[in-house]
A and B are shown apart, each in its own frame.
Chain A
Amino acid sequence: MIQFRGVNKWFGPLHVLKDIDLHIAAGEVVVVCGPSGSGKSTLIRCINKLEPIQKGEIVVDGMPLNDPATDITKLRAEVGMVFQQFNLYPHMTARQNITLAPVKVRKQSREEAERLARDLLAKVGIPEKADDYPAQLSGGQQQRVAIARALAMQPKIMLFDEPTSALDPEMINEVLDVMVNLAREGMTMIVVTHEMGFAKKVSHRIIFMDEGRIVEEGAPHAFFANPKEERTRTFLSKILVH
């Protein structure tokens, strides 16, 4: 579903992704962790071309990203993204947030998009919030609307960039539950998170990044039970304390 081959990326002189090789199969749930500044966000932002790469190749669902013939709109319709800060459109209701892209990009009829929005809000557990503005919702509710907004494009892949880091502790689980269900339905997911409970429960693979490289990867139980790299062990000892 997603292939990275020899990917390198720089921000000016700063080398942020170094020789990334990564293959993610359809239906796989991959958790990405690592210290701040290690390039986790940058890695997933390359997948929908929010960030361009300078060297190497990325292919998403058969579409090579550096090929000028690739339809970027089609690519972005297939890849949903959820951000740490939710990034809901503040001037639109939950329903309008969800229907904007399906109507404008997928050219769905308004009725069809509204029906889909209603279903998705039910799916994320807040059917009664359709007409509320983001400012009227709690953080957990906003993030669930953001997930519904991404799902409205009927993506094949979902990217999550620290979806629970900006939430109060009591709201983390309501968002994780939605993500667990999504994973169990077979969605291909890449999740940047330090929620190791989520990783153990549903992920197929954990990737540990440091200084722009993939240092270690493996199935969750092996990854937690006996990490091979010293850097992984240090990192895990820090985050598992919490």
Chain B
Amino acid sequence: MSFDWGIIIANWKFLILQGLMGFGAFGGGTLRLAIPALVLGFILGVIVGLCRLAHRPWIHYPAVLYVEFFRGVPLVMVIFWFWFLIPQMTGQRLPEYTVALTAFVVFEAAYLGEIVRAGIQSVPRGQVEAATAGGLSYRQMMVHVILPQAIRNMIPSLVTQFIVLFKDTSLASIIGMMDLTKAAQTVSQREIRPFEMYLFIAVVYWIFTYSMSRFSQWLEVKMSPERAPTRRAALRAATAEAPA
């Protein structure tokens, strides 16, 4: 078996500019899909999470239904639905990109909503009481006391979910959206070089997801100034070592 790595260089514009970034005649693009999907999915997720925590049943139960429904079905199926359903309902085809983005936002918001809910619930009840006793309004309490602590606790799960989302964007290729996977598939079929192509995109996906996980670790430390080692902790360690 012989390899031809030149195939990557020869097709880099198509793979990177078109496939990864979405600049080109085909639209699509892995990053052009993943980034807005992540941002919009998170915003919708915060809304879903807050609704799940609401006490009013007509806000609470639709959010529960939403989460349980979309967590219970495969993503591929959701993508197919939007792909076949929207033309049937509206009478016109939407671009693959629009369909994929909609499907991802709707699907991911269910998972992200659960992460947001768990993050808010992870903040001890005493924090709500202290803020309430201090006279803060619900909004002030959320903004200054609860969400800063909640988001910090959410970072690891959020980033894990963002990584899953990033990799899942490769599923958009099944409805023909030109992302990194689809671009590699196209090149590989033309040149009959599947090994080189699929190894190459694996590396590209990995570089992005690994950077995300490193960023998450950095952010966790950065957002927890009070968890930095302290004089007192150092002192305590020193006294513990000293003979009694």
- Residue ranges of A at the interface with B (Cβ–Cβ < 8 Å): 48, 50, 73, 76-77, 79-81, 83, 85, 87-91, 100-101, 104-105, 132-138, 146, 149-150, 153
Known contacts: A90-B226, A135-B230, A136-B226. The answer to whether A76 contacts B144 by CB under 8 A is no
Residue of B nearest to A137 (CB): B232
Known contacts: A76-B135, A90-B149, A104-B136. The answer to whether A133 contacts B225 by CB under 8 A is yes
Known contacts: A83-B130, A87-B127. The answer to whether A73 contacts B226 by CB under 8 A is no
A sample of 14 cross-chain residue pairs with beta-carbon separation below 8 angstroms, ordered by A number, consists of: A50-B133, A81-B133, A83-B129, A85-B126, A88-B130, A89-B127, A89-B130, A91-B152, A101-B136, A104-B140, A104-B144, A133-B226, A150-B134, A153-B134
Any A CB within 8 A of the CB of B36: no
Contact B132 A87 (CB under 8 A): no
Q: Which residues of A sit under 8 angstroms from B126, Cβ to Cβ?
A: 83, 85, 87
Contact A73 B137 (CB under 8 A): yes
B interface, how many residues as a size bin?
20 to 34
How many Å lie between the Cα of A137 and that of B151 in the bound state? 24
Shortest C-beta distance, A124 to chain B (Å), equals 17
How many Å lie between the Cα of A8 and that of B136 in the bound state? 27
Q: Assuming A83-B129, A90-B149, what are 19 further A-B pairs, CB within 8 angstroms? A: A73-B135, A80-B133, A81-B129, A81-B133, A87-B127, A87-B130, A89-B130, A89-B131, A89-B149, A100-B136, A101-B136, A104-B136, A133-B225, A135-B226, A135-B227, A135-B230, A136-B232, A137-B232, A149-B134
Shortest C-beta distance, B74 to chain A (Å), equals 39
Q: Which interface residue of A77, A81, A135 has the most chain B CB atoms within 10 A?
A: A135
Which single member of B132, B152, B225, B227 contacts A50 (CB below 8 Å)?
B132
Contact B133 A76 (CB under 8 A): yes
Residue of B nearest to A49 (CB): B132
Contact B135 A134 (CB under 8 A): no
Any A CB within 8 A of the CB of B145: yes
Which single member of B137, B149, B232 contacts A91 (CB below 8 Å)?
B149
Any A CB within 8 A of the CB of B148: yes
Contact B226 A87 (CB under 8 A): no
Residue of B nearest to A77 (CB): B135
